[in-house]
């Protein structure tokens, strides 16, 4: 018996029920059953989410906030109900603290340009970590270049764990913002966000948490965390692409100027002066992704119907099972072995480039991500050009992990190992 076969299986009965809600999972790839392990890039969508988006276009299609006719009223009500649904999901104090955007990337850019940039002077500092996605690096490089501020980076150790002592040391009287991922997309590391926020606030420094990965794997309570900003993307939590949200404390949103100009972010316009709308609408210029917002609300209902604690426990069992399975394979090295981690298995195979491994796995119907995962500094930190990343979701099963392992055996055979 292989070591990983001694692990107790996750609740396959529940997983089978959940899988039935996702139409795409019956697809075949190169004649093989689809084994979808690329959830860190995007999750698949359950039927209620798909139905909600198409249902909007079939029965409610109209612009929001502007019309008095029935379809516009229905669309507006559904759109704003989705905002309230998001607020409840992450425990925001009020719906007005939720700004709809295209995703976490746009949310972080909004904070960078509207909140942070006007407050920076030459020599001020922004503090991030060495495990960040490019979306939580490049916007801060922009504002540093624009203002003469300095980007400081908290290191990580060989397991992919944040160096908390160094974080505390780097917090200084020049720090103007801390921006750190909640759950690292290339490593799976879960950061000690309670400590991160508390230590920063003790020095009067606001904190932005990138929740793009965490939102579908961990319960998120922005009130308990006391973070100032929280950004996430809908497509990472079983919702559509092109929709996401920024949570920000109301007082901060009130103090921030609009980032983009156009329709719906105004109260009145003359050629001499424009009066801006109230929050959150002053940050939502133009016609929004109405169908996407409505469908995102349904996605969160779906997740709540299962229970985030149930999902987390299911995924934790799979992660342990898969970790033992990969460790038992000769020539496999895991990248990211933090004690506190979730959902992600990033690894390299001796003598095999990650892209070659991903291509061969695809021929076996196994969809993984191969590359730098928009986290090139992480790859540089571990001295590898790329990794294979298998990332988990609620519909994954032990059989999916077994298919991954079998596919990796084929990869080794192709390369004569």
- 373 vs 100: CA distance, rounded Å: 25
Residue 10 has pLDDT above 70, yes or no: no
- Which pair of structure tokens corresponds to residue 255? 């103090």
- Which pair of structure tokens corresponds to residue 177? 């913002």
Residues 137/104, Cβ–Cβ less than 8 Å: no
Residues 39/314, Cβ–Cβ less than 8 Å: no
- 232 vs 405: CA distance, rounded Å: 31
Q: What is the residue extent of each domain of the chain?
A: 3-33+307-414, 50-305
Residue 3 has pLDDT above 50, yes or no: no
For 50-305, CATH number?
Answer: 3.40.640.10
- Which pair of structure tokens corresponds to residue 309? 């604690």
- At 13, is the pLDDT very low, low, confident or very high (cuts 50, 70, 90)? low
Beta 35-36 vs 366-367: how paired, if at all?
A: parallel
Q: Tell me, what's the pLDDT at 14? A: 86
Q: What percent of the chain is predicted at pLDDT more than 70?
A: 97
- Which pair of structure tokens corresponds to residue 264? 């719906």
Q: Which residues pair with 179 in a beta bridge?
A: 208
pLDDT tens sequence across 284-312:
999 999 999 999 999 999 999 999 999 99
- The alpha-carbon radius of gyration of the chain (Å, integer) is 22
Question: pTM value?
Answer: 0.95
- 111 vs 211: CA distance, rounded Å: 14
374 is catalytic: yes
- 153 vs 162: CA distance, rounded Å: 11
Residue 111 has pLDDT above 80, yes or no: yes
DSSP state of 9: P
Number of H helices, E strands in the chain: 14, 17
Residues 73/61, Cβ–Cβ less than 8 Å: no
What mean pLDDT value characterizes the chain? 95
- 257 vs 114: CA distance, rounded Å: 6
- 379 vs 376: CA distance, rounded Å: 5
| Choice among 344, 370, 374, 392 that is catalytic | 374
Cβ neighbour number for residue 333 with a 10 Å cutoff: 16
Of 3.40.50.2300, 3.40.50.12780, 3.90.1150.10, 2.60.120.10, which CATH number belongs to 3-33+307-414?
3.90.1150.10
What is the pLDDT averaged over residues 92-116?
Answer: 98
């Amino acid at each position: 018996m292989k070591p990983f076969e001694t692990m107790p299986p996750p609740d396959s009965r529940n997983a089978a029920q959940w899988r039935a809600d996702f139409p795409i999972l019956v697809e075949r790839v190169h004649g093989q059953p689809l084994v979808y392990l690329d959830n860190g890039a995007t999750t698949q969508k359950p039927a209620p989410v798909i139905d909600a988006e198409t249902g909007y276009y079939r029965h409610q299609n109209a612009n929001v906030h502007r019309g008095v006719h029935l379809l516009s009223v229905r669309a507006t009500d559904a759109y704003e109900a989705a905002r309230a649904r998001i607020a409840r999901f992450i425990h925001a104090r009020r719906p007005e603290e939720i700004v709809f955007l295209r995703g976490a990337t746009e949310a972080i850019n909004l904070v960078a340009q509207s909140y942070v940039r006007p407050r920076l002077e030459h020599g001020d500092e922004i503090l991030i970590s060495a495990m960040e996605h490019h979306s939580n690096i490049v916007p801060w490089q922009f504002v540093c270049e624009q203002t003469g501020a300095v980007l400081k980076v908290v290191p990580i150790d060989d397991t992919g764990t944040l160096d908390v002592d160094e974080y505390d040391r780097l917090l200084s009287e020049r720090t103007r913002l801390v921006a750190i991922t909640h759950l690292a997309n290339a490593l799976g590391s879960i950061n000690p966000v309670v400590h991160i926020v508390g230590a920063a606030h003790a020095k009067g420094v606001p904190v932005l948490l990138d929740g793009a990965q965490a939102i579908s794997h961990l319960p998120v309570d922005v009130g308990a965390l006391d973070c100032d900003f929280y950004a996430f993307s809908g497509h990472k939590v079983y919702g559509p692409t092109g929709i996401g949200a920024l949570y920000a404390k109301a007082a901060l949103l009130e103090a921030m100027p609009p980032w983009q100009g156009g329709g719906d972010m105004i109260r009145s316009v003359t050629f001499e002066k424009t009066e801006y709308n109230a929050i959150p609408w002053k940050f939502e210029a133009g016609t929004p992704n109405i169908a996407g917002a409505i469908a995102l609300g349904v996605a969160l209902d779906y997740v709540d119907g299962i229970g985030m604690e149930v999902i987390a426990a299911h995924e934790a069992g799979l992660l342990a099972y898969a970790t033992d399975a990969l460790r038992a394979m000769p020539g496999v090295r895991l990248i990211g072995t933090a004690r506190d981690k979730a959902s992600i298995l990033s690894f390299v195979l001796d003598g095999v480039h990650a892209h070659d491994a991903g291509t061969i796995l695809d021929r076996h119907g196994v969809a993984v991500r191969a590359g730098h995962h928009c986290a090139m500094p992480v790859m540089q930190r571990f001295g590898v050009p790329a990794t294979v990343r298998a990332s988990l979701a609620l519909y994954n099963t032990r059989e999916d992990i077994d298919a991954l392992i079998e596919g990796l055996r084929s990869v080794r055979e192709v390369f004569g190992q």
